Chains A and B, each alone.
Chain A
Amino acid sequence: MRSSVSYILSSSTTEPNMSHPDYEQFSHDHAAILILLKHIGSQLKPKTFNKFYDRISKINEVKITDSTGQVRNITVRFVKEHPVENNDWGDFQTHRRLLGLVSLGKYDSQTELNEVCRVHESLKVKYNATLYDSRCVLFGPAKDSTSGSPTDVSSSSEDTSDPKTTVEEYTTPSNFKTRALFYEESSVCSDLENQITEFINSLFWVLESKKLERSREKLERVSLLYAPFEKKDFVGLDMESRQNKKRCTGRMTKHLGDLCLQAGLIAESLQYYTNAADILKGVNDWLWLGAAYEGLAAASALVLYPNMQRNEHFQRIGSLPEGSPKKPNPEAHQNNPTVVRKNIPNVLAPDDISKRYREAIIHYSKYQNAGIIETEASFKAARIAVEQNHALQAASFLQNVVYINLSLSEQEKIQRFETLADLYTQIGFNRKAAFCLRLAATRYVSPQNPNPNWSRCYTLMLQSLSGHKLLLDPIEMQEADQGWAVLQIQILQDLIVAAKRAGYSALATRHMTFLLQTMWPHLSPTEQKELAIQLQSLSVQCEGSPVPLVLDSGVVVPPANLTDIPLCAGFVLRDSKPHLRPKVIEKEKEDTGPFLFTPIHFGTGSLDRRKDKSNPKMDFLWVENEVCEVSLKLINPLPFELKVSNMRLLTSGVVFESVPETIVLPPDVPTSLTLSGWARESGELEIAGYSTHALGVKSNCRLKYMSNTFPFMYKIDVVPGLPVLQISTSLPQSASFSNFHDDNIVTSASVSLYHGEGAQCTVTLTNDSQIPIEMLDVTISSVLEQNLQDEIFRFDEEEVKRLLPLLPDQTATFTVSLYAAANFLAPNTATSPSLPHELNSGLFSSMSTSLPGNSLSRVNSSFRSSNSGHSSLAGGLTALFQQQPISSSAVEAQLKLRYSGGAGLESQHCRTSTVFFMVEMLPSLQVTNWDVMPAETSSQFYLVLDIINLTTQEMELEYAHAKCMLVEAQESCRVPVPVDRCPLSKLSDFYEEYNHSKTSVDVDKICSEHIAEQVNLKWLLNATDSSGLASLKGITLNSRMLDVVRMSPLQWDVKINGDAIHAQEDLSCEAGDCMELQMSIGNSLETSIKELALSVQFYQDYNNGTLNYRMDTRLAIAGTPKKILSVLEPQETASHKCNVIFFTPGLYKMDIQCYTPDGASVSTGPLINTGHVWKFTPPVSIQVK
């Protein structure tokens, strides 16, 4: 656009130069009357001045009826500053002249008033060359007399001696020759607008008169008008030449155009401009030709776009959404101009306006000294292009501005860039605008700038961010993920430097944080490291914190959080320890069967995972006022050690108190960390993330903004407080648990017991919490069968109930009894004892005198029995012990304590603690064989046991009352235990009912239980001082044994010589004496016994297994030794008498028995079999001398 003949036509650069460009000019300003609104004196506050400035500058258009009755539209432009040099260009373009002056001042005293007046007068002198008129607005001191005093009435004081002013307390000095307007600062000043309009009127009339004066001059005789720098060019030139004459005429015509335009005569001005352009083109007066073109274009624009106005310049606020650049609606002004254009001749078409401007600019560019005119023209042209909605054209005009080489102050250069940026923004060239803002920003702090202003630089840098698609909010920024990363990094770094230098350390930290947070992926590792270190040093001055920063300009800088330094690789809410987990009381189901869980997912694994993500509600619970934990896995992405301090959980919902944590993270190694805290209320807790303090920046790292995908937040229910029970036992802890792995185990108790030994375990409960325990539910569980378990582990539920309530810090105890239950019977394989007949028949002889140890060798072969498992108890024990028949075994069980209290109980929650019991059972003694033998009395029998001491110590065995025996370790012994025979009452069922379904097994069982009841083998290990009780539970008996064991249904009563026989009592008599035997049998059964034979038999036992029944030569019986009873009714007694005489001395035995003869029985119970023999036991022995 610029002419290639730049600077050719301008000869010298020393000429005074219009050095103060006015970038804000519009082409419309060509038609405006320039008025300076000046703030004078120090009393008036700038704020008040601005208020009045705004008020006055609203009067920018005044309609004035001229002398011909035509209404003129006069526009006014108020400025606050006007360099007096710019007046020099007033001949070139008249709108540059300052025509009016309004000064505003305040005074409190006469001296101040004088001073204000003096300043005003001096201003008048300063602009004397161009000034037409002036006003001085004076704000006096507040009058406290009356509100009705003439405060609002301006007192014009054209003349200081005017008597009106005497009303005022203060008077203007005598040399003050201006109309002063007196107001009170706080009042409404209602007629101010009228006064100003009147002032503008007066200016107009002066202008009008000047215009008329000029237009009346003869064009041939006018003097040459100069641009300021041209004066020297024309020195010595022949002004009378035809060329110069034309030049003078052309310039004057153009000047008239200017005046007409200002006086509101657009049509005339257009005419003048057109003429001037024609004339000036002819004489190659480029500068003025340019001016004529510009005037023409300006006037045309005024016609076409009357509404083009300075838009209110306000700072963009960062938090506001960025609107599209303001482009005027092209249709809005479409109709109006076309109408107007027809009425006014010489108006340029819209396209031509730009063309003319372009030409004008090219012409200006030929003169170096007209640089400012050119710049201003470019801006004006650009503004018209903006109005015309020709962005590219506007851009080209603006581009031209950059090329114009002006010697400007830094401040003006900055202003130029700011204006450029503003206009670029208007045409939607945000990037270009940002670029210009950045240039302006750098100018503020360039080395050439004598007083660098980092603060301004920072503000502009901040404004330039949006053009580079940088949003201040890191979250939006990351979501948008667009823009020119390399440049964005550069710009942010510049911004940080600016903020730092400007002293905004908080902002510097914030921006650095932002840079690291948003640009991390675009940074090289070295940059990452350097920037992190820079951030650390920045944050030393001002710590970063996650609060929005509000700038003076109203821009809000949202918080930036370093969510990925350190990078969170795992965020898991921890369930409390198993025994502290709250459980719902009703729903607790321990055993839910085997088929509720399946590891097979039928290919829905991915679906499930997604479901987990969408539902971040935890399936476990936390407890109020108890430590809740979240474990994190953190990775330090920086190549140096990173200290992260003050890490807390970010929560919402119920009140949560988080414990700050500090951790030092080595580079690139994932580190685990647990964050803990207490929920102080019950309800739903939401965990949104955590806060950190890393690199000197406090960050709120929310899960949803992290680069790793986490759920937006985790939710967990917090239940009301539950008590905590501390449990200990009196027994030592076991080394290991084997079978059970219940997570709730808090402690364990282990004990070694010999079979049959018992122990007490005291369980101590301490309430550690501040909540009383109001519910306690104790159960024992194991894999054992219920009844066996009950035998081994026992506690008193009533005792447990009595413990409640357990108040805080109280301790209570209850006892669990342990008993090493075992099967003491050797698991021999022999199923049914088969006793040889000889034993059966000759038992009495061998057992007659001394049972223990007498004839063991003979019995051994058949002295066997089995415990093939009749009772369930014995079966269970057998199953348990069969694997390790002799060696020790261990029983494991859990003592489960469910407890609750306080608010937790109300919400139906409880806790479960488990005590693990391990009872090691050592074998103590074992009964390897057993048999029964009739005792000396009929009410008892002997249970003969072979007992082996399985311990390694000497054992003292008390097998019957006051009968003790020492058994060496691993030795066995045989003991006879006198046992009461099983009374009939226990067996009566079997005699009563002739029910064959009840087999002899049941009888066996009853007898076995009877024995178990009766026989208690007390053992004592002297070395360890442990004692126990072995029971014979599950002992099995064969039918022969049963006969001995159970009480005979027949009641025997045997008398010899009238005396009753006592067991073990030896009877003696002389040979030849007659002994009277008297015997009676009573039926103890409820039924009658039929076909009963009672017999008496004598024999001699040689104690070698031989029983001699052939007693014919040795004794004689008087009376029948055999009596048949046809029927014996219940409770009936049958008696029999006979006498016996022994012929030779010796030891005789008498066997009294009762039997049913073969085939005699018809229908009897199972016990009364045919051929069954009842004997009177023991056999009576008689010593005959």
Chain B
Amino acid sequence: MAVCAAIVGKENSPKFFCCVNPDEELNFQYKVLSSLDIIEEKLNPTNKPGTEIKELYLGMLYSLETCKIYGYVTNTKIKFIIVVDSSNLQLRDNEIRSMFSKIHSEYADMVSNPFYTPGEPITSKLFASSIKNIITGTV
């Protein structure tokens, strides 16, 4: 399944980062960071004036030799990013979508926690484990 998931805040600062293989975390961080350029470009309203983006799922942002990066933006401009190994061909677009919506609902639950300050990095262990479960497909 996916190898990495990230949640990026409104101001493009990372809020949560989860990697299946912790050794590659830095590597993935670079990739996710670069993909923000594309997300920003896609969200730029001047590009398509008048067309409000209804679809939260942004599709594949870009693909590299080793991985493909998918993006998803909530209405509050929280970005979810999933990195999928390029060799993983059985993962369809639909599955990515469902993965995103699962992450979104997890995120919504987490934000509802009164002890969480919106905008702060997410440190909840429970949240981390459920995201990990989602991206590894064990849910």
**A residues apposed to B, CB below 8 Å:** 391-392, 395-396, 399, 403, 424, 427-432, 435, 468-469, 482-487, 490
Report chain A residues within 8 Å CB of B25.
486
How close is B67's CB to chain A, nearest CB, in angstroms? 13
Between-chain CB contacts (< 8 Å), 16 pairs: A395-B37, A396-B62, A424-B37, A431-B34, A432-B34, A469-B12, A482-B11, A484-B13, A484-B14, A484-B29, A484-B33, A485-B13, A485-B14, A486-B14, A486-B26, A487-B29
> What 7 A-B pairs are tightest by C-beta distance, nearest first?
A429-B37, A482-B13, A431-B37, A391-B41, A432-B37, A482-B11, A432-B34
Report chain B residues within 8 Å CB of A428.
37, 40-41
How close is B98's CB to chain A, nearest CB, in angstroms? 25
How close is B13's CB to chain A, nearest CB, in angstroms? 5
How close is A469's CB to chain B, nearest CB, in angstroms? 8
A468 to B12, CA, bound (A): 10
Residue of B nearest to A490 (CB): B26
Given contacts A482-B13, A483-B13, A486-B17, could you give 8 more A-B pairs where the C-beta distance is less than 8 Å? A392-B42, A403-B65, A424-B37, A431-B37, A432-B37, A435-B30, A435-B33, A483-B12
A1033 to B124, CA, bound (A): 88
How close is A286's CB to chain B, nearest CB, in angstroms? 24
A399 to B13, CA, bound (A): 24
A430 to B41, CA, bound (A): 11
**Binary interface profile of B, 4-21, with partner A (CB < 8 Å = 1, else 0)?**
000000011110010000
A647 to B71, CA, bound (A): 51
Asked if A399 and B62 sit within 8 Å, CB to CB, the answer is yes
Asked if A487 and B30 sit within 8 Å, CB to CB, the answer is yes
Report chain B residues within 8 Å CB of A396.
62
Cβ of B3 under 8 Å from chain A: no
Answer whether A435 and B34 are a contact pair too, CB < 8 Å, given A482-B11, A486-B29, A487-B26.
Answer: yes
A396 to B33, CA, bound (A): 17
A1094 to B37, CA, bound (A): 136
Cβ of B99 under 8 Å from chain A: no
Asked if B29 and A392 sit within 8 Å, CB to CB, the answer is no
A623 to B11, CA, bound (A): 51
Residue of B nearest to A327 (CB): B46
**B residues apposed to A, CB below 8 Å:** 11-14, 17, 25-26, 29-30, 33-34, 36-38, 40-42, 44, 47, 62, 65
Answer whether A487 and B38 are a contact pair too, CB < 8 Å, given A399-B62, A482-B12, A482-B13.
Answer: no
A395 to B64, CA, bound (A): 13
Asked if A429 and B29 sit within 8 Å, CB to CB, the answer is no
Report chain B residues within 8 Å CB of A487.
26, 29-30, 33
What is the predominant secondary structure among interface residues of chain B facing chain A?
helix
How close is B66's CB to chain A, nearest CB, in angstroms? 12
Report chain B residues within 8 Å CB of A430.
37
Report chain A residues within 8 Å CB of B65.
403
What is the predominant secondary structure among interface residues of chain A facing chain B?
helix
Asked if B37 and A468 sit within 8 Å, CB to CB, the answer is no
A486 to B14, CA, bound (A): 9
**Contact among A395, A435, A483 for B41, CB-based, below 8 A:** A395
A995 to B13, CA, bound (A): 102
Report chain A residues within 8 Å CB of B30.
435, 487
Asked if B29 and A395 sit within 8 Å, CB to CB, the answer is no
A487 to B40, CA, bound (A): 19
A482 to B11, CA, bound (A): 7
Report chain B residues within 8 Å CB of A427.
41
Report chain B residues within 8 Å CB of A486.
14, 17, 25-26, 29
A325 to B36, CA, bound (A): 16
Report chain A residues within 8 Å CB of B14.
484-486
A468 to B41, CA, bound (A): 17
**Contact among B11, B33, B34, B41 for A392, CB-based, below 8 A:** B41
A468 to B29, CA, bound (A): 12
Report chain B residues within 8 Å CB of A468.
33
How close is A632's CB to chain B, nearest CB, in angstroms? 31
Report chain A residues within 8 Å CB of B34.
431-432, 435
How close is B102's CB to chain A, nearest CB, in angstroms? 24
Asked if A431 and B36 sit within 8 Å, CB to CB, the answer is yes
Report chain B residues within 8 Å CB of A399.
62
Report chain A residues within 8 Å CB of B44.
391
Report chain A residues within 8 Å CB of B26.
486-487, 490
A1077 to B97, CA, bound (A): 150
Residue of B nearest to A487 (CB): B29
How close is A465's CB to chain B, nearest CB, in angstroms? 13
Report chain A residues within 8 Å CB of B29.
484, 486-487
A391 to B17, CA, bound (A): 27
Answer whether A431 and B13 are a contact pair too, CB < 8 Å, given A391-B41, A395-B38.
Answer: no
How close is B23's CB to chain A, nearest CB, in angstroms? 14
Report chain B residues within 8 Å CB of A392.
38, 41-42
How close is B83's CB to chain A, nearest CB, in angstroms? 15
Residue of A nearest to B17 (CB): A486
How close is A478's CB to chain B, nearest CB, in angstroms? 14
A483 to B11, CA, bound (A): 8
How close is A630's CB to chain B, nearest CB, in angstroms? 35
Report chain B residues within 8 Å CB of A391.
41, 44, 47
Question: Which residue among B11, B34, B36 has the maximum number of chain A CB atoms within 10 Å of its CB?
Answer: B34
Residue of B nearest to A480 (CB): B11
How close is A105's CB to chain B, nearest CB, in angstroms? 47
Residue of B nearest to A435 (CB): B34
How close is A492's CB to chain B, nearest CB, in angstroms? 14
Residue of B nearest to A438 (CB): B30
How close is B138's CB to chain A, nearest CB, in angstroms? 26
A691 to B11, CA, bound (A): 34
How close is A394's CB to chain B, nearest CB, in angstroms? 10
How close is A405's CB to chain B, nearest CB, in angstroms? 11
A487 to B17, CA, bound (A): 12
How close is B6's CB to chain A, nearest CB, in angstroms? 10
Question: Which residue among A399, A435, A469, A484 has the maximum number of chain B CB atoms within 10 Å of its CB?
Answer: A484
Asked if A431 and B33 sit within 8 Å, CB to CB, the answer is yes
Question: Which residue among B11, B12, B37, B41 has the maximum number of chain A CB atoms within 10 Å of its CB?
Answer: B37
Asked if B13 and A429 sit within 8 Å, CB to CB, the answer is no
Report chain B residues within 8 Å CB of A424.
37
Report chain B residues within 8 Å CB of A483.
12-13
How close is B81's CB to chain A, nearest CB, in angstroms? 12
Report chain B residues within 8 Å CB of A485.
13-14
A957 to B62, CA, bound (A): 118
A431 to B47, CA, bound (A): 19
Report chain B residues within 8 Å CB of A431.
33-34, 36-37
A485 to B120, CA, bound (A): 13
Residue of B nearest to A392 (CB): B41
How close is A977's CB to chain B, nearest CB, in angstroms? 93
A391 to B11, CA, bound (A): 21
A1086 to B64, CA, bound (A): 134
A429 to B65, CA, bound (A): 20
How close is B24's CB to chain A, nearest CB, in angstroms? 13
A395 to B30, CA, bound (A): 17
A469 to B38, CA, bound (A): 16
Residue of A nearest to B10 (CB): A482
Report chain A residues within 8 Å CB of B62.
395-396, 399
Report chain A residues within 8 Å CB of B36.
431
How close is B30's CB to chain A, nearest CB, in angstroms? 6
A431 to B33, CA, bound (A): 7
A484 to B25, CA, bound (A): 13
How close is B77's CB to chain A, nearest CB, in angstroms? 14
How close is B89's CB to chain A, nearest CB, in angstroms? 15
Report chain A residues within 8 Å CB of B47.
391
Question: Which residue among B25, B33, B47 has the maximum number of chain A CB atoms within 10 Å of its CB?
Answer: B33
How close is B31's CB to chain A, nearest CB, in angstroms? 9
Report chain A residues within 8 Å CB of B17.
486
How close is A4's CB to chain B, nearest CB, in angstroms? 14
A482 to B12, CA, bound (A): 8
Residue of B nearest to A394 (CB): B41
A424 to B41, CA, bound (A): 12
Report chain A residues within 8 Å CB of B38.
392, 395, 429
How close is B59's CB to chain A, nearest CB, in angstroms? 11
